[in-house]
Structure 1
């Protein structure tokens, strides 16, 4: 197949995150399977306007807002000079590319999560109202009858609320890479970790408040924030205003080995985000036997964390604080959740994700009707695995 994938950023972008990793892994996996893959995204200073990487052709043009029109122009130009694409993937990160305006090829719409909560957090009221109007009203109408892909059941359900036919929404979860073998450093006390882009709607301030409240009950408690983003200065100022510099570490962007060392040394992963399409950091932590605590209403987090089995779901900061306090004083439960999290992580592989995408895109290119493949639950049985002890977690 000749495939175009439109995503507003790529993983080399300074603000690239989980959605960009998903796009790269799917694109490179399809290229490795023999398909011709062109990745259209915004231009930035970290990479050239055109390059080939692991079999994928990257074409970068346009700004954060200009990338949408630039991608449509590129599709028209490429089809005029190289022939029609067999299928185009339109990744809707809040705003769609409306790729159907540029091609007669089948268009598959990928949605990580619906941005109802993010619009007013990140943008001014007029811009938020416009963006939400396009996402919630215009896009479902213009893409009616097309194949959709969601990365979680919660995203599928939210799309249904916007008028998207649930039978047209396939669910293809994130995969995860087997973690590298790393040696977890011994720590003087329990470590909490937040992993991901440092942006406003991730609400890292909640993790800082939680750590500050529990310091007296758990000597040596530290918070490690792994990641970078446009909200970094505000988080740094918040840490200073709380007087938390001695026990909150803002590590910024780190390499893969360092990231996995931090996860392996953690007692718990915290996910205080407003919304996640899936929660890739949850599964990455789980691959080290580290359970997670997140908010029940944060979209796909309620699926990447199986409440009471691989971690805990809570409703607000007060409950999150109480949950962390309870687990840090109950090492047996902490180990049980970690064992189950390890088994949970093993179920999600990028090979399976790519195979599901290949099957779906072939269906679309052949003109088949949309499908809801992957729409089923995978309960995780309790695991009887032997992983690190409670002493190593909190020593």
Structure 2
């Protein structure tokens, strides 16, 4: 198959969950023998507009206006649309042998307006993230905020309803898609993917006489729950005096988190690592006694949770979004009663109070997520859906990797 992935940005240009998902799915499909082109935005001016990766995946980058431009918000869709249109035409979008696979609503406007058929992986409702997560990235006058969100919600719903198929990574996001008007008959559930070769156990957890080592990898924005996890630490330390928390990730809330750590007197127990390389992320998962995902709002899949489990580490989550779906069936102890700091603290303490159960969870963790979340399995499922969307029979499997 010839597959065109249309997205916002792609790894390694940007290292978020969506960006990694698109790049790793493209790599897995390319490994099957498909031809994959990823069209994403140029996040830095030094990046080439066109390049081919070591795995054969081609990346084409579309131009975007500068965020320093006071007209950034109205200019953005116009500039993006013009460049994406050019790249789609060059890729042969609209031909029967080309599948257009959309991952983000803004560039998706182009194939919709051109009448090009597409499938849409709906990772999360972007309209719900515009103001709380992007308010410090560009200027948007307050009076325009609510109107802009309402308009974006209608646009996102229209894009979903026009798609041949709508794919979500969880039941939680499926319900969000249906709320935007998607016909359930056109919905398909395909879980998120993880690299089982990279995320795998190695040795024993680092915790010992000094106490358990907690870890989380999150963007430093409100909905990720880092504030609540830090606020849970005094209660955790009261029961587990040697506990330590390491936090990987960057974001606009770092200064506020640093102030919170200082105010609670946790400078020796809590460390903000900033953005860390992928290799260090793997080692942090392996070294941790427990990975905590304290999400407060919206969790489209729970990538951190799945990666931790694949690494043989127990993963504790809040009952928000798709988090609980990832640990479902492994242990009820892995889901806190609610998303509050006290509930998070209680769940952490309860888990370490049952060492035999914690050992069992670690032993079963990897098999819980693999091969079901492995990229080979996910890519084969997508290949079937591409055939369904285009009316073609599924392509014969090509080369395969252990993922």
Of 270, 286, 309 in structure 1, the residue corresponding to residue 309 of structure 2 is 286
3-state SS in 2 of match to 1:343:
helix
Structure 2 contact 60–87 (Cα < 8 Å) conserved: no
Q: Secondary structure at the match of 2:191?
A: coil
Instruction: Give CA-to-partner distance per residue, 1:341-380, whole Å, 9 cap, x none.
Output: 2321223201111111122123223379xxxxxxxxxxxx
Distance 1:128 1:259, change over 3 A: same
The alignment's TM-score, normalised by the length of structure 1, stands at 0.83
CA deviations on 1:188-214 (whole Å, 9 max, x unpaired) are 211111113233321211111111222
User: Aligned to 2:167, what secondary structure does the other structure show?
Assistant: strand
State the match for 1:372 in structure 2. Answer: none
Match for 1:339 among 363, 368, 382?
363
The aligned residue for residue 202 of structure 2 is 182
Q: Alignment partner for residue 84 of structure 1, among 93, 106, 111?
A: 93
Q: 1:365 aligns with which of 378, 382, 390?
A: 390
Aligned match of 1:129 = 146
Distance 1:288 1:127 in 2: 45
* Structure holding more helix per residue: 2
Report how far residue 139 of structure 1 moved: 2.6
Deviation at 1:164, TM superposition (A): 0.9
Give CA deviations for 1:143-163 in whole Å, capped at 9, x if unaligned: 425211111111111211221
Aligned twin of 2:26? 27
- Decide whether the 8 Å contact of 1:90 with 1:109 is kept in 2: yes
**1:284 deviation in Å?**
1.0
Alignment of 1:3-22 (within 5 A): 3-14=3-14, 16-22=15-21
Q: CA deviation at 1:168?
A: 0.8
Partners of 1:266 and 1:129 in 2: how far apart? Answer: 41
Residues 185, 325 of structure 1: CA spacing in aligned structure 2 closer, same or farther, 3 A cutoff?
A: closer
| Aligned 1:94-109 pairs, distance under 5 A | 97-109=108-120
Q: Which moved more, 1:225-234 or 1:197-206?
A: 225-234
Per-residue CA shift, 1:206-233, capped at 9, x if unaligned? Answer: 1111112221221211111122234333
Of 260-269 and 166-175, the range deviating more from structure 2: 260-269
Is the alpha carbon distance of 1:355 and 1:256 closer, same or farther for their aligned partners in structure 2, counting shifts above 3 Å? same
Question: Structure 1: which 5+ runs fail to align?
Answer: 369-395
Return the offset for 1:67: 6.1
Counterpart for residue 399 of structure 2: none
Question: What TM-score, normalized by structure 2, do the two folds share?
Answer: 0.81
Aligned pair count reads 365
CA RMSD, Structure 1 to Structure 2 (Å): 2.7
